[in-house]
Amino acid sequence: MVSILYAGLNHQNYVGVHLTEKDMNYTYKGDQEYGWFGHKMLMHITPRHKPLFLVSQPTYRLCVNPNCSYTVHDIQSVGALSIFSAGPSPVLLAVLKGQDTFQKLGAGFAVGDPFGNGSLVLAVGSNTKDVDGEILDVPVKLTDAGRVTLYNLDISSPSTLLHPSGSSTASRLIRLHLDHREDVSLGPIAMYEGDRQYGRYGGELMFQDVTGDGIDDLVVSAPFRTEDISEELFKVEEGSIFVYQGGPSFGTGNVTRSCDFLSLVKPCPTEKAYSVLSSNEGGSRFGSKLTTWRFSEKPHLVVSAPRSNGAERLAGEVYVYTL
């Protein structure tokens, strides 16, 4: 359940008062058992665009029965992301839904302007999405490797998403009308994929300028990723952070499939990244949370490793980086 209370001129009436659901201006409730509606939320406000309110439901399932009563044939935990227009009267604009079992679309999401041209881009992570990859040119299924898909929120023509096979398909997912005036479409424009089993690439996403050029960069975490290709011989759950620099040449299409000829592993998210940050400590889950901190006139990337044993057992650590 998600509730909204506007702090207006009468906000003093709420001081010292125990508020309940009945006091809220708006309340939105999930419509599925175990759907986890409200698992993550994001309010995106910029001067150039209408404010958006996003709510994830990572264990949403695709139902067989019209009333969504449970059956063994339901597709479990595909995930869903609801997009609302924020304002005095919030309106549900769109719901993005996953398609694959345990994909968990909406595990991470962010909105920003990585091209620096005023356009609005939505990044959505499916951190337990299986990925078809290659190790030493041998096809492998990378279980729970994770995927991040980018959608342009304000284009009016179909866009193209490049698939792993190299083919392309024009895809118009949703067409919406805001206030019956603005024509808005959600079309996929880019895809980034993880390169390790159980790495959970896309578990946390952020659009923020962390390189200091004034343009939003895409920051993607894979908190369960390990540097060890075998994923058995050395440390596990070290965690990694990938920074993809924003700008006019920001990657589109099937970004992490355009790998170097000598790449040992495909997809290749490290090759395409401006910077890759990793932990040397197994089990620390570096990248579990992300934020930014601006001081000394510079942006800094802040990364958590909540299971780090650096000080005490599972005491956790937080790292601050200047890129």
Instruction: State pLDDT tens for residues 115-139.
Output: 999 989 999 999 999 999 999 999 9
CB 104 within 8 A of CB 128: yes
pLDDT tens by residue, 45-87 = 877 778 889 999 999 999 999 888 889 999 999 999 999 888 7
**pLDDT beyond 80 at 171:** no
Q: Which H or E run includes 271?
A: helix 269-272
Mean pLDDT of the chain, nearest integer: 85
Domains of the chain: 31-321 (2.130.10.130)
With tokens 């008062």, the residue in question is: 17
Query: What are the b/e assignments for 263-283, b being 16+ CB within 10 Å?
Result: bebbbbbbbbbbbebbbebbb
Alpha-carbon distance of 37 to 30, in angstroms, equals: 5
Rg (CA), the chain: 20
> If pLDDT is split at 50, 70 and 90, which confidence band does 169 have?
very low
Residue type, 318: V
Q: Residue 175 has what pLDDT?
A: 37
Q: pTM of the entire structure?
A: 0.86
Residue type, 75: I
| Residue with the larger pLDDT of the pair 269 and 152 | 269
Q: Residue 249 has what pLDDT?
A: 94
Q: Beta-carbon neighbour count of residue 15 at 10 Å?
A: 6
CB 284 within 8 A of CB 294: no
> If pLDDT is split at 50, 70 and 90, which confidence band does 91 have?
confident
Instruction: Measure the CA angle with vertex 203, ends 262 and 90; round to 5°.
Output: 135
Q: Which H or E run includes 157?
A: none
Alpha-carbon distance of 322 to 302, in angstroms, equals: 9
pLDDT tens by residue, 185-204 = 678 999 999 999 999 999 99
**pLDDT beyond 90 at 106:** yes
285 φψ region: left (φ > 0), alpha (ψ -120 to 50), beta (else) = left
Alpha-carbon distance of 194 to 143, in angstroms, equals: 10
With tokens 């309940």, the residue in question is: 20
Q: Residue 163 has what pLDDT?
A: 37
Lowest mean pLDDT among 64-73, 147-156, 226-235, 291-300: 226-235
Q: Residue 231 has what pLDDT?
A: 62
